[in-house]
Amino acid sequence: MIDTDIGEDLDDLLMLSVALNSPEFEILAVTTVDGDTDARSRIARRMTAAYGQGHIPVCAGYRRSMPQDNSPIEPGLSITQGAVAPTEEGLPPACGLDAADLIAKIAADRPGEVSLINVGAMTNTGQALVKHPETAKNLKAIVFPAVLAEMGTERFIDWNFWYDPVAAAVVARSDANWILVSWSICKGLGPDMEQARQIAGMGLETTDLITLAIAEWRKNKPEVKPDTTPHGADLKALAYLLGEADVTTTRGRAEVTVAPRGKGADLRVVEDSEGPHTLAWSLAPERAEQLHELFVQRLMSPPYAKA
């Protein structure tokens, strides 16, 4: 399962594209999180349809971080890649289940088999574990791309953690197999400028969608320059799953502290041979290069024919 805030940074869309076009993965569901989850759901459904997998349930998940409710967001709030799927026209129908219920149901149907790739705020995951505690043990793993940076003997994490630290605390204190995948694994996994131009020239429905998303990302993200290389940070989740034997890992403990009334949070990650979490630190350079070539090839290729 893939839980994503697709439609903002580009790496979510690249990761979903590669996952959908990789026979190594069976995608069972996509849930969207944070803000305009309906708009994010439209993008994800347009992607699944383009790859011939419109049957995959795509659920618009929680708009607000825990412990807030799921009330509608403020009118006019937009995402940078909204033009990829601005309306429902031609899209597969959205899944009507609550995101937490969908995650729990799929995990219960196939206990110990399903990994949840969490590449957005952890709200949907946290809600699933609170509403359905058995999900923690039913999931094979929760794979969370993270920024792990050494600072003395301690290591810290940020990015998506900060969007919902309460949900991260729920995951950290659950019985789930939580895998934190370091930034160092993702270096160079996305397409470079020349490869982005090659993708634009392929003329496939899928590559046209990727090219449109790149253009919208550059246009609507103020900090992105016209010549900025599309980054593929979230591809490190797939790199871990495909290259697990070549990834350096240690056991560790992620300790989450959330201040009262949401005034700040901290997550400290330390190595601990008896710790409940897996810290994935680095990928063998030759394997990283192989995966870079594989991911770009998958982005350029026509959708593979499912057996």
Q: How confident is the model at residue 111 (pLDDT cuts 50, 70, 90)?
A: very high
Q: Please state the domain count of the chain.
A: 1
Quick one: average pLDDT of 166-195? 89
Q: Which residues pair with 117 in a beta bridge?
A: 2, 143
pLDDT at 147 over 80: no
**pLDDT tens-digit series, residues 199-242:** 999 999 999 999 999 999 999 888 888 788 888 889 999 999 99
pLDDT at 151 over 60: no
Quick one: average pLDDT of 143-162? 70
With CA atoms as reference, report the closest residue to 277 among 168, 198, 126, 183: 168
Q: Alpha carbon 101 to chain centroid distance?
A: 18
Domain span at residue 222 reads 2-300
Mean pLDDT comparison of 142-151, 220-229, 234-243, 262-271, highest-scoring range: 234-243
What does the alpha-carbon distance between residue 7 and residue 80 come to, in Å, rounded to a whole number? 6
With CA atoms as reference, report the closest residue to 40 among 109, 161, 123, 108: 123
Query: Given this model, what pLDDT does residue 275 score?
Result: 93
Of the chain, the percentage scoring pLDDT greater than 70 comes to 93
pLDDT at 284 over 90: no
Of the chain, the percentage scoring pLDDT greater than 90 comes to 67
Residue 192 lies in a domain: yes
Return the minimum-mean-pLDDT range out of 113-127, 145-159, 264-278: 145-159
Query: Given this model, what pLDDT does residue 264 score?
Result: 67
Residue 307 lies in a domain: no
What type of residue sits at position 185?
A: I
Q: Which residues pair with 116 in a beta bridge?
A: 142
Phi/psi-derived region of residue 201, left when phi > 0, alpha when psi is between -120 and 50, beta in every other case: alpha
- Termini Cα distance of the chain: 20
Across the chain, mean pLDDT equals 90
Residue 305 lies in a domain: no
Q: Which residues pair with 266 in a beta bridge?
A: 257
What's the CATH number where 210 sits? Answer: 3.90.245.10
Query: Given this model, what pLDDT does residue 262 score?
Result: 55
Query: Given this model, what pLDDT does residue 145 score?
Result: 85
What type of residue sits at position 169?
A: A
pLDDT at 128 over 80: yes
Residue 164 lies in a domain: yes
What six digits make up the tokens of 260?
């009262």
Return the minimum-mean-pLDDT range out of 3-17, 88-102, 256-270: 256-270
Query: Given this model, what pLDDT does residue 156 score?
Result: 62
Residue 125 lies in a domain: yes
Quick one: average pLDDT of 171-193? 88
Residue 201 lies in a domain: yes
Residue 306 lies in a domain: no
Question: Is residue 142 within 8 Å of residue 168, measured between CB atoms?
Answer: no
pLDDT at 81 over 90: yes
Is the preceding omega at residue 145 within 30 degrees of 0, hence cis?
no
Write phi, then psi, for 211 (nearest 5 degrees): -65, -40
pLDDT at 117 over 90: yes
What does the alpha-carbon distance between residue 157 and residue 155 come to, in Å, rounded to a whole number? 7
Query: Given this model, what pLDDT does residue 210 score?
Result: 97
Which string of b and e fits 58-95 if b means at least 16 CB within 10 Å?
A: bbbbbbbbbeeebeeeeeeeebbbbbbbeeeeebbebb
